[in-house]
Structure 1
Amino acid sequence: MEILLSSDLIEKIPNFKVGVIEYENITVGVSPQMVKGRLQLFQESIYFELENKNVTDLPGIQEWRSVFKMTGKDPNRYRPSAEALYRRVQKQNYLTSVQSAIDLNNFFSLQYQVPIGIYDRDKLNGSVTIHLGAEGEEYRGLNGRMNSLGNLIVSSDQLGAFGSPFVDSDRTPVTEDSKCALQIVYLRPSTDLENAQKLTESLMNMFIQVHGGDASYRILGC
């Protein structure tokens, strides 16, 4: 699948980069106990780590808040998805198991302090462009609301925007019926190429270990 970064995005954030993973022949279902257990234990450890800290002091959260500011989006109103997860954990509103793909997405987002989106590739139409949303552009998100995409980093196919590091749309989520998927890892701009590759490959290998199938990855923006 062709995936492009727009020039307007690179101009705003010169070091912007994403890890892109494509999966085929995967089996999504109930998470194995190993995944459920790791997700729960990791959230508990984060809760204790945050007892005397602010979520915004975490380096990954700080960096992604600054990215939103650079694009003109107020991170106090539109929080990066990784920050939203951390704030839930801080309140002991722990993430419960949904299904294997979403659980792993949440686990890695917490581990690396970055937004990560995963989409059913069969629900996408044509090539994908990651760009800045236009004023007036919007979609219904997985949060159940219409979300304004103006000045927000968004991913779009020929049918329009479907994902962002804020909240994804309800058009392309991975479900237990999904067989092919596209995963976008919104890396910290400060991450160098070697570490970007290691992080993305590690995530891909864990996903394949749980879901089977085949996968390939690449880094865009380096």
Structure 2
Amino acid sequence: MTMTAAHMGYTFYCLCAIALFATTVWILRNGRKVKVTESAMLLVILGGLIYDNFMLGVGSLIFQESQGLLIATIPRFAIHALCTPLLIMHAALSCGRLNVPGYRSRTIITWWGATTFLCILLGLVREIDPVFQYSVEGGIAAFRPSGEGGPPLAEVTTVFSLIVMGIALTRFIRWPWMLTSATVILIFNIFFLENGAVTNLGEIILLSGSVATGAYAVSYA
């Protein structure tokens, strides 16, 4: 049987969901070594990405262009808006564990907490669009917000916040992976924004950098 673009797309998103699920299992097995708050943040984000990739890989195949696909789509964007900014708070707590100068300060943690909350609000305003448009990209059927919610300020703020903390981690701790993963997704979003597979891969790379940073912070502490 010939592999069409749609089949390759379904396979790619299903493999992404499996990889994220494996990461979730690893965190659960090692969660006792990490504070509950930090583990919970990663697990919530992972859960959102697993659902996102699963619906693109399997949901799009099952529902095609139907009301069921639209109903399954709305949680994708709601979860994305609610969960992705939590990476900011997770990175700030990891910086505190690693004794990055200033990050033991309650003022700094409060600042990053406020930034996280602001990004969640901005994301909800943009992602929970009353109008969703049906589209087919690379053979994958999906509904997407019409785009009238404005520029992706939440995503931009989240990525640049992680870059700022990544620079601090690289400078003071010699840990470059947060900066590297955040820079990769920034490049992907600049040059491949319309390619869902590439941007999803960028999210996985970013999350991998966060998981690695959290694990290193635990071993360091």
Normalised to the residue count of structure 2, the TM-score between the two structures is 0.34
Relative to its length, the structure with more strand (as a share) is: 1
